[in-house]
Structures are given as C-alpha cells and as structure tokens.
Amino acid sequence: MTVDQPLSASWTAPRDRKRPNHLHDAARPAILALLTLASPSGVYAKDAQERHGFDWAVSVETELDLALNQAATNDGDIELFILGQWYFSNRTQLYGLYGNEIDYTESSSGAQFGAPSHVVYQVYAEFDRADNRLRIGKFAPVFGNSWSLAKGVAAAYLAEDYELTECLGASLAHKTENGSLTVSLFSSADTVLPADAVCKLGKNVSFDAVGSYPSGHLNNVALEWAHTIHKGRLSLGARYLPGVSTSEDDEIGGVASLLRQIGDAWSLYAEVAAFDGYQGMNQSAQYTELNTAYQYKRLTFSLTYAYRRLSQSSNTSLISVGIDYDWHDGFKLQTGLSIVATAGRPEGYLSFDLIIPLRLPKYG
C-alpha cells in the first residue's frame, strides 16, 4: 500500500450502488489493479517516464457471494473492463473507462442471469501543469477514501453509500508541499449524454436506496485536503449537494480518514463521515469504519468493522475478515467472510473476487 499520493484526485475505478441483499457490486474492480501495477509507486505516483501516445488495458473480474443463512441470497457478476488513455506531449491526456457486466442472482424461483449492461464509467480530458491538475468530463469526484485505501473484499461496503460517482463537471487538484487540495464542481450524469442502444453515459444504477445523488445542475461541490504524514496519510473532505427539487433538503457532509503504516507489513485505516439532510430528506447519517491489514509475502489478511447510523431508518453494522492472494502480473483472488446486520437481522456471506488482467497498461 502506497502512502505517497501527491494528487489524490487521480485514478478511480467504477463503483456501483448495492442492490438489496447483495454484499458488493464492485469490491475491487480489476482496472485498479492494472493501474497500480504499471507504476512502482502506485496509482498516484508521478511519471517515471514521459508518457506519449495511446495506451490501453483490458481485464475481467468475476465476483460471487454465497449466502450463509436464509436471510441472504446467492449472487454475483462478471464484468469486462476496457481502459483507454491517450497521452499528448504537453502533459494533456484523454481518458475513457468502459465496463460490460452480467449479473447472477438466485431466488426461490431459481437462478437467473441478467442482461448485459454497457456502461461508460468515466470519460474526461485531463490537463497537468506544474502543481495543478484539471479534469473535465465524466468522472468520480473525490470524497472519502475507504474504497481505495481500505483492504478486504468487503472493506468499502458501507462507505460506497457516500463515495461519489457518475458525475459530470470539473475538478482541480493543487499539489502542496506534502499533499494536495482538490475541489470538484459537478452535476449528476443523467441529465445530459443520456442512454442509447449501445451504452449508458449516465447513472447506471438507481438511487432509491441509501446513497448519494447529486442534482442535475452544475452546483454540487466537493472538497478534499490530503496530507502525507510519517508512514501515513491524513485527509479531510466536505461536500454540498443541493436538493434536486424545492421539496428536498440540501445535503451537507464531511469526512475524515487516517491511514497509518506500521512497519513493512501492518496497516491501519480509519474513516468517519457525517451528513445533514442526507438523501435530500430531513435526516442525519453517521458512518464509521475501522480496517487493519497484514501482508505476508503474497498474502494479505484483513479485518474490517463498519457501522452506519441513519436517524430515519434502521442502523447497519458489518464485520468482515478477508484473505487476498496476489499472483504475478495482476492476477488476484480475494476471499472474505462477512456478517451484515440491519435492525438486528444478520446476513452472512462467503465472498470470492477473481481479477484476471488480459492486457496490462504501459503506463499507470
């Protein structure tokens, strides 16, 4: 795990909203593993060499959640990711990330495969000048870091509620002496560039469950300050999401996270978030996550505890233990045992996530 991340607004991979009784839609998308491999210092590293021309990568990820009690159901999916990046000599690049996913679910009526979903997760232009990086297009604004920094197949299960994705707008990241300051101005991606018969360039999920949903106007704002400390990283974030209509409340939220490396093997990660007017309603929400991981050769052992409190709904807690195995060239198997309890009703899952890179990128 790298802690040297000077521009925290860099690469993010797709995150889907969770369906009921589904432990995770995209626990650790394969494209993130490909990008990390391409640079010795990780996803956010500075260029080891001058980048130029077209670069691309392809990977497949398959996920399976096996129910351990009657309150849960078996489900999973398989997804193909295709990444394209075009680098120009003036430190400008064009970026696109496409996914094709097929879902699998089991119910009392039997097993069922869903129709393939074609999604352009991100497509934007990026301009890198000195200590500033400007991104314009469809992207994931920076707010929260559990998805990218916590370890384990279900580590970001609750944090995915509030991490932003599928947005249109712009973000500016300014590099400071020991970190970065990022500001994003955006709208939801469902009001322009709508779906067609080929792909959906907008919201690919429903926001009627818990989660974030920006308005359709360019008036949503997110800020993040990230600071590198000795063997770790500290970040603070805030956001403002106006109500989608006059009958909805404006949402104001904040998040804080701390990553700490202990020696060469142990890591500790903690994140807390709080919101007022959550989901545009007269309710508050608080999230807590504690995650620790130990790396031994190609194995990573992880333990996660997470808690979600909603003032107008039932509370949810999660406990998960995981074991990840890294093969060479990005092949990775993640396994985990998780218990998710809402209103005292526990659901148990045994999860498997296999990442298969078909083509590695030349650059990170």
Per-residue confidence of the chain (364 residues) as pLDDT tens digits?
Answer: 333 332 322 323 333 333 333 444 433 344 544 454 443 333 333 444 578 899 999 999 999 999 998 877 899 999 999 999 999 988 899 999 888 889 888 877 778 888 888 888 889 999 998 899 999 998 889 899 998 999 999 999 899 888 887 788 999 999 999 999 999 999 876 544 444 333 333 333 333 333 456 777 888 999 999 999 999 999 999 999 988 777 788 899 999 999 999 999 999 999 999 999 987 888 899 999 999 999 999 999 999 999 999 998 889 999 999 999 998 888 999 999 999 999 889 999 999 999 999 998 887 5
pLDDT digit string, tens, across residues 259-271: 999 999 999 999 9
List the end-to-end C-alpha distance of the chain, in Å, as a whole number: 15
Q: How far is CA 101 from the centre of its chain?
A: 16
**Closest listed residue to residue 121, CA positions, set 100, 98, 95:** 98
Tell me the three state secondary structure of residue 18.
coil
Supply the Cα-derived Rg of the chain in whole angstroms: 19
CATH architecture of 30-359: Beta Barrel (2.40)
What distance in Å separates the CA atoms of residue 163 and residue 252, rounded to the nearest whole number? 14
Task: Tell me the whole-structure pTM to 2 decimals.
Answer: 0.83
pLDDT tens per residue across span 300-344: 999 999 999 999 888 999 999 999 999 888 899 999 999 999 988
The residues spanned by each domain of the chain are 30-359
